[in-house]
Structure 1
């Protein structure tokens, strides 16, 4: 299995390669696209400009291509949005052709119509079907095979049994299969989520919520307004209290601030590497666009350590125990992508 890691800016490429990444993926959104379509029509579901989450100039892409020539670790470009309007396909095709002209040939795409558009216009590139497309089972895989997909990226909600079934029952051989392994475990399935990930609003997947029975006031907007008002008031109070406590702690412990890095804090599948390998997964995704490069470097190094243990341990339960003991130090944070067992 190979490691593919998310890139936020071209400066991160060398760090990820040296940490052990076998592949890198990144977003590219040129200024012309942002000027015309802005936040509401993103290219890759990362409508963020405030911090490094994607590359925004063609000159940077040229530099990145030269770095790939030196370090020999390939880069794939994401076009992760679920759908585009008709007028945008021509512009996207031009962006892809420009990237191909400088040496990028692998693209992560979620929109089936875009894949068909590229095929009809004889734009021959390697397509990785994005997890945002949500290939759910072997029947969907049979359908997507008609589109000349070279790699299937399983979405976050696929179980290992789902993946195994898709891989074993796929008549097309010599294909690649990618699964999430670290970071950004989400309670939504990307293909059915229409929220924005932008600077102006908190990401919907980060909003606090609780589940409850529908009350007798379900049709009363007055009751809903009261609850919303109370919710935001409590949220403001909680936020102000947390900010105060954080500032207080920082002042008291400025010289002894502990390392905040936690392996797999927002999503982890390390314990299931043995099962993923048996299922036929060929690539492991470390999500990281927008993450700090220091944390990404440690994620890749730790994943590399976990993979080095695979050949020495035969059964999955023993492997899981060793990973928890040596990499997680006996503490599982419960943000598991696949494992149902907990410490």
Structure 2
């Protein structure tokens, strides 16, 4: 790893790859669901929890993967394939193993995986791919990471609810283990955190909602956060705060002429300084199924924010320049990291 944080952007179709590379993305993640899987299991036993066909959210044909593989060889910007379901049926593991082996045969080496049983299956079958432990896996702490070290983890992805202190503690523990093992810093485990789009009230590991064409996503249903005391909800105070922080729409002046606002559904740009201090190496820019024009602008804005970060002498200077440059008319106020 180098000292600069890298942009990992969501890819909804192969048509977006070259455009997003030109915008400044360093690497990508995308889903691949063979039609045979969708035909056999439908939406109730998803392969990657994005069983959407009405818009560009994932790849559905092996021929698309073959084209994407040639693009990766040309542009040298890797693509990680997601197998993000929390669990699978016993008979599905051999099928997934076959899919991964076939994908590896055309150059896809890295896979984002959430199900620990799938990690065990791949290890026992002798499939030696790079594993990115998904943010959907569950709570992230030092003991959890200790347990998963038995697998060849290339990267740990922090979920949406981790604090800076949580991340810093886990990363410090990991770096100490690597130091004792004589692993060079540049060869250590990669660490990834969410930075733009799709902030969600749920932690992925505890969400059993379906993301499909047939029904609305549960994460887009209106909600309020409150405390429970003696079995009774006490919502009043937190409901008021929630209305201020989330339900109130951003100022229309903050949008550009095309209706775009960076971080409209979740933003962590102001936190880049602290994420870097914590030791984060990769930044997840969620966007599969997003408008392609908006996604391109997201990548350019994140790249601009990283340039501002590199030039800033301190956090105050970084935030001041960022707001003046990227958010001159205001931001969404929907912060990933408060």
Question: TM-score, normalised to structure 1's length?
Answer: 0.84
In the other structure, the counterpart of 1:235 is none
Offset, 1:194: 0.3
More helix by share: 1
Runs of 4+ in 1 over 6 A off after TM superposition: none
8 Å contact from structure 1 (residues 181, 268) kept in 2:
yes
CA distance in structure 2 between the partners assigned to 1:121 and 1:86 by the alignment: 14
Cα deviation code 1:122-167 (max 9, x no counterpart): 0000000000002421111111112221100000001111111100
Given candidates 66, 72, 77, the residue that maps to 2:70 is: 66
Equivalent position SS for 1:44: coil
In the other structure, the counterpart of 1:248 is none
Offset, 1:311: 2.2
CA distance in structure 2 between the partners assigned to 1:117 and 1:277 by the alignment: 34
Equivalenced residues, count: 298
8 Å contact from structure 1 (residues 134, 154) kept in 2:
no
1:206 equivalent in alignment to 2:210: no
1:181 equivalent in alignment to 2:185: no
Cα deviation code 1:280-302 (max 9, x no counterpart): 10000100111111111000000
CA distance in structure 2 between the partners assigned to 1:268 and 1:288 by the alignment: 12
In the other structure, the counterpart of 1:295 is 294
1:36-51 → structure 2 map (5 Å cutoff): 36-51=40-55
Offset, 1:212: 7.4
1:108-127 → structure 2 map (5 Å cutoff): 108-127=112-131
In the other structure, the counterpart of 2:242 is none
1:221-300 → structure 2 map (5 Å cutoff): 258-300=257-299
Gap runs ≥5 in structure 1: 219-256
CA distance in structure 2 between the partners assigned to 1:322 and 1:38 by the alignment: 48
CA distance in structure 2 between the partners assigned to 1:212 and 1:161 by the alignment: 23
Gap runs ≥5 in structure 2: 233-255
CA distance in structure 2 between the partners assigned to 1:317 and 1:190 by the alignment: 32
1:305-320 → structure 2 map (5 Å cutoff): 305-320=304-319
Cα deviation code 1:89-127 (max 9, x no counterpart): 000000000000111000000000001100000000000
Q: Which has the larger radius of gyration?
A: 1
Question: TM-score, normalised to structure 2's length?
Answer: 0.85
8 Å contact from structure 2 (residues 262, 331) kept in 1:
no
CA distance in structure 2 between the partners assigned to 1:324 and 1:334 by the alignment: 12
Equivalent position SS for 1:307: helix
In the other structure, the counterpart of 1:102 is 106
CA distance in structure 1 between the partners assigned to 2:202 and 2:288 by the alignment: 18
Offset, 1:210: 4.0
